[in-house]
Protein backbone atom coordinates (compact mmCIF):
# COMPACT_ATOMS: atom_id res chain seq x y z
CA UNK A 1 0.00 0.00 0.00
CA UNK A 2 1.36 3.44 -0.90
CA UNK A 3 2.13 5.93 1.85
CA UNK A 4 -0.17 8.45 0.14
CA UNK A 5 -3.17 6.23 0.89
CA UNK A 6 -2.12 5.89 4.52
CA UNK A 7 -1.73 9.68 4.92
CA UNK A 8 -5.10 10.32 3.27
CA UNK A 9 -6.71 7.84 5.65
CA UNK A 10 -5.18 9.56 8.67
CA UNK A 11 -6.38 13.00 7.54
CA UNK A 12 -9.86 11.60 6.85
CA UNK A 13 -9.97 10.13 10.37
CA UNK A 14 -9.12 13.54 11.83
CA UNK A 15 -11.90 15.14 9.77
CA UNK A 16 -14.33 12.44 10.89
CA UNK A 17 -13.45 12.91 14.56
CA UNK A 18 -14.19 16.65 14.19
CA UNK A 19 -17.57 15.85 12.62
CA UNK A 20 -18.40 13.31 15.31
CA UNK A 21 -17.41 15.81 18.01
CA UNK A 22 -19.81 18.37 16.51
CA UNK A 23 -22.59 15.76 16.48
CA UNK A 24 -21.95 14.97 20.14
CA UNK A 25 -22.05 18.71 20.89
CA UNK A 26 -25.44 18.98 19.17
CA UNK A 27 -26.77 16.05 21.19
CA UNK A 28 -25.45 17.52 24.44
CA UNK A 29 -27.10 20.86 23.67
CA UNK A 30 -30.34 19.01 22.92
CA UNK A 31 -30.22 17.15 26.24
CA UNK A 32 -29.52 20.41 28.10
CA UNK A 33 -32.49 22.04 26.39
CA UNK A 34 -30.50 24.66 24.51
CA UNK A 35 -31.91 25.85 21.19
CA UNK A 36 -29.36 27.42 18.91
CA UNK A 37 -30.33 29.80 16.14
CA UNK A 38 -27.61 28.18 14.04
CA UNK A 39 -29.66 24.96 13.86
CA UNK A 40 -33.31 26.06 14.11
CA UNK A 41 -34.54 29.02 12.11
CA UNK A 42 -38.18 28.99 13.24
CA UNK A 43 -39.11 27.80 16.73
CA UNK A 44 -42.15 25.64 17.28
CA UNK A 45 -43.50 22.35 15.98
CA UNK A 46 -40.81 19.76 15.50
CA UNK A 47 -38.00 22.30 15.57
CA UNK A 48 -36.76 20.79 18.82
CA UNK A 49 -35.75 17.65 16.95
CA UNK A 50 -33.65 19.35 14.29
CA UNK A 51 -30.45 19.15 16.33
CA UNK A 52 -31.04 15.48 17.10
CA UNK A 53 -31.74 14.63 13.48
CA UNK A 54 -28.70 16.55 12.33
CA UNK A 55 -26.54 14.82 14.94
CA UNK A 56 -27.75 11.35 13.93
CA UNK A 57 -27.09 12.13 10.27
CA UNK A 58 -23.60 13.43 11.05
CA UNK A 59 -22.83 10.38 13.19
CA UNK A 60 -23.80 8.07 10.33
CA UNK A 61 -21.83 9.97 7.69
CA UNK A 62 -18.73 10.67 9.73
CA UNK A 63 -18.83 7.23 11.35
CA UNK A 64 -18.67 5.68 7.89
CA UNK A 65 -15.90 8.01 6.82
CA UNK A 66 -13.96 7.24 10.02
CA UNK A 67 -14.27 3.51 9.36
CA UNK A 68 -13.17 4.01 5.76
CA UNK A 69 -10.30 6.29 6.73
CA UNK A 70 -9.16 3.82 9.37
CA UNK A 71 -9.22 1.05 6.79
CA UNK A 72 -7.12 3.18 4.44
CA UNK A 73 -4.69 4.17 7.19
CA UNK A 74 -4.20 0.53 8.14
CA UNK A 75 -4.16 -0.67 4.54
CA UNK A 76 -6.83 -3.27 5.26
CA UNK A 77 -9.80 -1.96 3.25
CA UNK A 78 -9.92 -0.37 -0.18
CA UNK A 79 -13.65 0.35 0.06
CA UNK A 80 -12.94 3.32 2.33
CA UNK A 81 -11.55 5.27 -0.62
CA UNK A 82 -15.03 5.95 -2.05
CA UNK A 83 -16.68 7.49 1.03
CA UNK A 84 -13.56 9.51 1.79
CA UNK A 85 -13.40 10.94 -1.74
CA UNK A 86 -17.12 11.76 -1.78
CA UNK A 87 -16.81 13.68 1.49
CA UNK A 88 -13.89 15.68 0.12
CA UNK A 89 -15.86 16.65 -2.98
CA UNK A 90 -18.66 17.84 -0.68
CA UNK A 91 -16.16 19.74 1.49
CA UNK A 92 -14.85 21.83 -1.44
CA UNK A 93 -17.95 24.04 -1.88
CA UNK A 94 -18.58 23.99 1.87
CA UNK A 95 -15.18 25.58 2.44
CA UNK A 96 -16.06 28.44 0.08
CA UNK A 97 -19.34 28.87 1.92
CA UNK A 98 -17.32 29.21 5.11
CA UNK A 99 -15.26 31.96 3.48
CA UNK A 100 -18.46 33.82 2.60
CA UNK A 101 -19.73 33.47 6.16
CA UNK A 102 -16.55 34.97 7.59
CA UNK A 103 -15.16 31.73 9.01
CA UNK A 104 -11.86 32.04 7.15
CA UNK A 105 -9.68 29.89 9.41
CA UNK A 106 -12.14 26.99 9.36
CA UNK A 107 -12.66 27.39 5.63
CA UNK A 108 -8.93 27.27 4.96
CA UNK A 109 -8.49 24.14 7.07
CA UNK A 110 -11.44 22.46 5.34
CA UNK A 111 -10.24 23.41 1.86
CA UNK A 112 -6.60 22.44 2.42
CA UNK A 113 -7.46 19.11 4.04
CA UNK A 114 -9.95 18.23 1.29
CA UNK A 115 -7.48 19.12 -1.47
CA UNK A 116 -4.69 17.22 0.29
CA UNK A 117 -6.78 14.05 0.51
CA UNK A 118 -7.89 14.32 -3.12
CA UNK A 119 -4.30 14.81 -4.30
CA UNK A 120 -3.11 11.89 -2.17
CA UNK A 121 -5.87 9.50 -3.26
CA UNK A 122 -5.55 10.40 -6.95
CA UNK A 123 -1.78 10.10 -7.04
CA UNK A 124 -0.57 7.51 -9.57
CA UNK A 125 0.54 5.08 -6.85
CA UNK A 126 -2.80 5.32 -5.03
CA UNK A 127 -4.82 4.85 -8.22
CA UNK A 128 -2.70 1.83 -9.17
CA UNK A 129 -3.20 0.39 -5.66
CA UNK A 130 -6.98 0.89 -5.87
CA UNK A 131 -7.17 -0.56 -9.39
CA UNK A 132 -5.28 -3.69 -8.31
CA UNK A 133 -8.40 -4.87 -6.49
CA UNK A 134 -10.20 -5.10 -9.82
CA UNK A 135 -7.39 -6.69 -11.79
CA UNK A 136 -8.67 -10.19 -12.49
CA UNK A 137 -6.27 -11.02 -15.33
CA UNK A 138 -3.45 -13.37 -14.47
CA UNK A 139 0.19 -12.49 -15.20
CA UNK A 140 0.12 -14.47 -18.48
CA UNK A 141 -2.93 -12.49 -19.71
CA UNK A 142 -1.43 -9.04 -19.01
CA UNK A 143 1.12 -9.28 -21.81
Cα–Cα distance measured from residue 85 to residue 123, given in angstroms and rounded to the nearest whole number: 13
Looking at residue 41, what is its pLDDT?
Answer: 54
pTM for the structure as a whole: 0.84
Cα–Cα distance measured from residue 117 to residue 114, given in angstroms and rounded to the nearest whole number: 5
Which pLDDT tens digits describe the chain residue by residue (143 residues)?
Answer: 899 999 999 999 999 999 999 999 988 888 887 766 666 556 566 666 778 888 999 999 999 999 999 999 998 888 889 999 999 999 999 999 999 999 999 999 999 999 999 999 999 999 998 888 777 655 555 55
Cα–Cα distance measured from residue 20 to residue 38, given in angstroms and rounded to the nearest whole number: 18
Amino acid sequence: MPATVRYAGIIACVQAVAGIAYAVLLLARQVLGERGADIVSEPGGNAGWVATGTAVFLLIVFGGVFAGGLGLARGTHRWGRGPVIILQIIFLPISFSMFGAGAWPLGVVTLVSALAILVLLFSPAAVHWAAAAFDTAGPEQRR
